[in-house]
Amino acid sequence: MRTRVQAVLLMFVVLAVAAFAVPLLLFTASDRTQEWALARSSDLDRFASLADQAAATGDTSALTAEARRYTQLYGEGLVVTDTRRRPLVETGGVRAGEPAVARLLDAALRNQTAHPSGALRPWSHGQRGFAEPAGSGTRVSGAVVLRASVGTAAHDIARRWAAVLAGTALVAVACTVLARAATGWVVSPLRRLDRAVGQLAAGLPPEQTRAGGPPELRQLATGFNRMAGTVTAALEQQRRLVADTSHQMRNPMAALRLRVDALDPHLPASAGRTYTAVTTELDRLETLLDDLLALAAAEHRAGELAVTDGPDVRCEVAAVVARERGRWEQVARRAGVRLTADDAPPPVVALCTDGELAQVADILLDNAIKYAGRGATVTLDCGTDGGWAVLTVTDDGPGLSPAELALATTRFWRSDANFATGATDTSDGMDETGATNTSDAMGMTGASGAADRTGAMNRTNTTKGTGLGLAIAEQLLVARGGRLELTLAHPNGLRARALLPRDRGGAR
């Protein structure tokens, strides 16, 4: 904005200075040209008078002496003739027989005065011709032609123009300095306010906007600071409520699990079903707490990166795909799912950390293996799509309906349908294989409860999940300027694409 405002002001300054300087330059050139022409006309009048006297007396000595002194003094030649075109005086190399001089003599003998037209300029050079008849009234007794040099007059015009241009430049510089100062006075508070608005929009505490500039902007900054303080306090309270609640409930949950586990040996056989239901709900609550913390951390990270560039990070997508395939193969096998991946994926460099991409891949693979059903095939691959690095997880399970696709990334949303056929909890399988869960990939707690994906047949609601996994994955991608795309696979199944900006220097 500052550049645009300055450009407009500077354009106005240039036009205003030009509107003043151009007429002044033209006036100085015209004024000096007029001085030069008047001086030569005065000289012509004197020689015309001497020529008339010589014609009357027949004595040309005075005329000749004056003409030679004039040529020696000013370096300008002249010709004086009688009415029959006979030269009385020729000085400075000017001859009456020259075509240009002859035309001027003809005009003077017809009792016409000839002066050069047009104003001189600093680049003017050479000589200009003047002609005037000798005599009085309508009586013509001869003609005088003067060939005048324009060098001195052009030099004077150049000097005057230099002075005008120097003054114009000083005025332009002064106006530019004033324009920059005025622009900074108006725009700087707006830039600070814009930066604070960006921080507030990202959910981060904005810096206090220092009041400055015009009174209207100072009033606006003061009002924004009050509003920002209120909004920031409310957002921080909400964020701390989620994080503190999740954290503070860990100890009671751990104590509750210990007590429930301690009851197991003392329960009768008839209470086994109830005991299993209680431990299942405890598992779900622990997963929910972990996912709430992971989601809060992902949202906070997204807010930070929305207003700051963050560190310059890159990761090899193919390397992440290879590691994730190795970690999830045994889990998929135990769930009755076949996991495939390209053995030689193309080199793709994404602008994110390895941990962030690994966590997104964990969530998508956990979802696909959990809900595709036994006998399904899950494919993990990577590639590029224009300026994006793409990690894709595709399964050939029942998939989702178009209406469910629109809700799949909604927090806590779970479809009415989880597949009874082959819907398997993969979290235990990950622990047995020694692979870290999705929270470990980021150094955060609990992203293992991926959002649940369901289909259209044999539906129950027994598969574990919190409905937060895809929301966490989407926040992680958005934080790096990417996005999550969910589409139906052909002929059936679901395709999840994690798109991140790619480093064009690292992808060929």
What does each C-alpha distance from 29 to 37, 104, 146 come to in angstroms?
A: 12, 25, 22
Q: In the predicted model, is pLDDT for residue 427 greater than 50?
A: no
Pairing of strands 377-385, 349-350: unpaired
CA 197 – CA 202 distance, rounded (Å): 9
Q: Which amino acid is at 96?
A: A
Percent of the residues in the chain that have a pLDDT greater than 90, as a whole number: 30
On whether the CB atoms of residues 80 and 87 are closer than 8 A, the answer is: yes
Q: Label residue 281 by pLDDT band (50, 70, 90).
A: confident
Q: In the predicted model, is pLDDT for residue 455 greater than 90?
A: no
Burial of 282 (0-12, 13-18, 19+ CB in 10 A): middle
- Per-residue pLDDT tens over the stretch 206-264: 666 666 777 777 777 777 777 777 777 776 776 777 667 766 777 777 788 788 888 87
Q: In the predicted model, is pLDDT for residue 497 greater than 80?
A: yes
Q: In the predicted model, is pLDDT for residue 454 greater than 80?
A: no
Backbone angles phi, psi at 464, to 5 degrees: -65, 150
Backbone angles phi, psi at 260, to 5 degrees: -65, -40
- The whole-model pTM stands at 0.47
DSSP state of 268: -
CA 182 – CA 160 distance, rounded (Å): 33
- Per-residue pLDDT tens over the stretch 53-70: 988 888 889 999 999 999
* pLDDT for the residue 437: 40
Mean pLDDT on 22-47? 92
Pairing of strands 377-385, 338-341: parallel
Q: Label residue 131 by pLDDT band (50, 70, 90).
A: very high
On whether the CB atoms of residues 374 and 335 are closer than 8 A, the answer is: yes
* pLDDT for the residue 205: 64
Q: Label residue 407 by pLDDT band (50, 70, 90).
A: confident
CA 69 – CA 398 distance, rounded (Å): 116
Q: In the predicted model, is pLDDT for residue 278 greater than 90?
A: no
Percent of the residues in the chain that have a pLDDT greater than 70, as a whole number: 80
Question: What is the number of other CB atoms lying within 10 angstroms of the CB of residue 363?
Answer: 30
* pLDDT for the residue 390: 92
Where is pLDDT greater, at 184 or 415? 184
Q: Which helix (H) or strand (E) holds 131?
A: strand 127-136
Q: In the predicted model, is pLDDT for residue 144 greater than 90?
A: yes
Strands (E), 270-316: 315-316
Mean residue pLDDT across the chain: 79
Mean pLDDT on 70-95? 91
Question: Token pair 């399988």 is at which residue?
Answer: 429
On whether the CB atoms of residues 427 and 466 are closer than 8 A, the answer is: no
Where is pLDDT greater, at 67 or 190? 67
* pLDDT for the residue 505: 61
